[in-house]
Amino acid sequence: MDEQAKIRVMLVDDDEYSIAPINLLLQQSVETLCVESGEAALVQFDAFRPDVVLLDIDMPGLNGYDTCRRLRAREDIAADEQPAVIFISSHDTLEDRLQAYDSGGDDFVNKPAAPDEVLRKVQALVKMLNHKKRLQSDKQSTHKALMDVLTEHNENARVTHFLRSSLSCITIEELATLVMSVLANYGLTAHVQLRPPGECLTFVKEGCSTPLIESVFAHVKNLGRIFQFRRQLIINFTYVSILVRNMPIEDSDRCGSLRDSLAMIAEGCDEGAQALIRTAQIEKRTRQLEATALAVERAIGSLCEQYQQQKQQTILIAQSLNNRLMQQIFLLGLSEQQEKKIEEVFDSEIDKLLELFDRGLDFDTQLNDLIKLLKDKD
């Protein structure tokens, strides 16, 4: 079917004889409807939905001007759905044309109207209306594209803001609160579950999780990366699951865009959780190392003290042994040569013992250096 076959023209005139030739010609290429009054035109407008209205001015009851004004005043008819109005009148004064323009008309034809002229005007106005509709459609498409770009930019900005802010979170609780806050900016209500080693922490807007929410997470956390059931969307990563309760499923484009943004937020949250877990593990290991270092420091200190005491006791024993030996040698009545021999043997062994203690001084120095290193570890 060509474009003209879609055109609908309503002819409004109480003089059926003057409008008949025009209707006869128009019927060959467009769909027509003839009515005899302005009131009838307004009543039948919704059922027929004309593209063009040929409107007589002088009619009993509602004249053409008032009929056009009422048509233009209808708020339920969008601007791009309003028909073109061509006034037909036997009066051709400036005042008539100004009133036609004032009441919302698009063109003016004198009676008796030539059917060919009316057909050309109808076709011209339909082309103009179609052009306006295309421009309006292009404008709406451009506006939608622009809004899509702006929306995408805003959503990307929100994701970027979240990723940056997540770096400053120092606790799991702070990270979960940040996720729910960012999702609230999207107009979404969400629950967040974080799973550091040995724990399963669920966070909800109301503050306290319920057994039902816990059971839902227990079931959905193994349903794959992204799972959606009606308005509810679940996104799972190793350490985090996000349950969104009010996805805008009536807007498929918006819903798809949100899924992408939410996936990036969930992944960022998972990486943030991993960072916090690693930090906690490092802090725990550091505390363990500090406790071990303190124990080693104390053990080395005790060992050094025992070593010093043992060295002093050994020297005292050696001195006492030397004194007793000298006394026994004197009492035995040995010859001078025998006494000298025994003293040489004893002095040699004492020298070895002292040499051993001298080497022990290096061990003592190393222990003291190690204690100093442990004390200076911070």
Which residue type occupies 271? Answer: E
The reported pLDDT for the residue numbered 258 is: 82
pLDDT surpassing 90 at residue 35: yes
Bridge pairing between strands 84-89 and 52-56: parallel
Q: What is the pLDDT of residues 189-230, one digit of tens each?
A: 888 999 888 888 888 887 777 888 888 888 888 878 888 888
Contact 17, 39 (CB under 8 A): no
Residues 6+ apart with CB under 8 A from 51: 6, 7, 8, 9, 83, 84, 126, 129
d(Cα 314, Cα 264) in Å, to the nearest integer? 73
The reported pLDDT for the residue numbered 149 is: 38
The pair of three-digit structure tokens given for residue 240, joined into one six-digit string = 């985090």
3-state secondary structure of 205: coil
Kindly give the residue spans of alpha helices, DSSP state H, lying in the chain: 16-26, 38-48, 64-73, 94-102, 115-166, 172-185, 211-220, 252-332, 336-375
Q: What is the pLDDT of residues 239-269, one digit of tens each?
A: 999 988 888 888 888 888 888 888 888 888 8
The reported pLDDT for the residue numbered 68 is: 93
Q: What pTM value is reported for the model? A: 0.45
Q: What is the pLDDT of residues 47-92, one digit of tens each?
A: 999 989 999 998 989 999 999 999 999 888 887 788 889 998 888 7
Per-residue pLDDT band at 134 (split at 50, 70, 90)? confident
Contact 34, 19 (CB under 8 A): yes
Which residue type occupies 272? Answer: G
Sheet holding 232-236, edge to edge: 201-203, 190-194, 240-244, 232-236, 226-229
In terms of phi and psi (left: phi > 0; alpha: psi -120 to 50; beta: otherwise), the region of 173 is alpha
Residue 215 vs residue 374, higher pLDDT: 215
